[in-house]
Amino acid sequence: MLIPLGFEQQSIVTSLGRMVYYTGTKELWGTSQTKSLVFFHGFGGGSSAYEWSKVYPAFAADYRILAPDLIGWGRSEHPARNYQAADYITTLIEFLEKTCNEPVAVVASSLTAALTIRAAITRPDLFKCLILTTPAGLSDFGQNYGNSLFAQVIKTPILDKFIYSAGVATAGGIQSFLENRQFANPDLIYQEIVEAYLESANQPNAEYAALSFVRGDLCFDLSLYIPQLTIPTAIIWGQKSEFTSPETGKRLASLNPGVIRYFEELQDVGLTPQLELPGITAGLISRFLKLLC
């Protein structure tokens, strides 16, 4: 996975293993940043902190950037286990406890953004504000993703790992996923993106976290939790997100309008505006940081 110029790899130890993260080098950025800004990536075959690597350098002059590979993804440890939502809520909290000394602004994507909401409900003392792209539990308002045909197929032993190795962790599988699931405009996918996702997807034991996601083991009904959120929040939603529509996003936001203060829908954008339109996404994050934090 590509590390942007001016950034370096560090790590902390969580209850599930070592979590790698990327932060600005003192040689380039100095030590004058007094505030931290954390970026949590989403889930999918080959996901990692690379997802935010075209955005977070824009904030390094003013913030201490922290962009981890979550447990089971990227260069972090990949325990061979069936992952559950509680695993990620716990390790998100542990990461903030071990790297930040005060409440921080957190930027997070897709299902991880939904898990971040639950972490913020559990430990509001760790969070200053949330800026979330397409936060969805993928079983929202009673819909159960785990009952879908694809999720049921992936639950078949042996077949699940074959599908992963032959259909996901290949250049063609990554390209297809990006084209059909993440990007509204496939012309914006370039070779570096495919290579970064492919490297992450082929780490030892990478299939465990990915298959837990695809099976639906990490999914939940976010609508049951949003009313409990107390941290000021802004949401960015790609109009052409393949997993959850903007209408569902607006319905979720309406459950707590006093806390979810902004909802920005981006036209002709898919699940990951941070890769598809990184400049616009960085501009929106900058605006929301000023409004919320």
Has residue 182 been placed in a domain? yes
* pTM (predicted TM-score): 0.95
pLDDT surpassing 60 at residue 247: yes
Has residue 2 been placed in a domain? no
Residue 40 · residue 22 · CB < 8 Å = no
Which domain CATH number covers 79? 3.40.50.1820
Find all residues with CB under 8 Å of 52, minimum gap 6, and list them: 39, 41, 67, 107, 109, 274
User: Which residues, listed in sequence order, are joined to residue 66 by a DSSP beta bridge?
Assistant: 38
Domain count, the chain: 1
Has residue 272 been placed in a domain? yes
Q: Which H or E run includes 277? A: none
- Domain residues for the domain of 222 are 7-292
Has residue 130 been placed in a domain? yes
Q: What's the rounded Cα separation, in Å, for the pair 292 and 105? A: 9
Q: What is the pLDDT of residues 213-245, one digit of tens each?
A: 988 899 999 999 999 999 999 999 999 997 889
Alpha helices in the chain (DSSP H): 26-29, 85-99, 110-122, 149-154, 159-163, 171-177, 191-201, 206-215, 246-253, 273-276, 278-292
Q: What's the rounded Cα separation, in Å, for the pair 104 and 87? A: 21
Query: Stretch 104-121: mean pLDDT, rounded?
Result: 98
Q: What is the pLDDT of residues 182-218, one digit of tens each?
A: 999 999 999 999 999 999 999 999 999 999 998 889 9
pLDDT for the residue 122: 98
Query: Stretch 47-69: mean pLDDT, rounded?
Result: 97
Query: Higher confidence at residue 162 or residue 114?
Result: 114
Backbone angles phi, psi at 228, to 5 degrees: -90, -10
pLDDT surpassing 60 at residue 149: no
Has residue 1 been placed in a domain? no
Query: Among residues of the chain, what percentage have pLDDT more than 70?
Result: 94
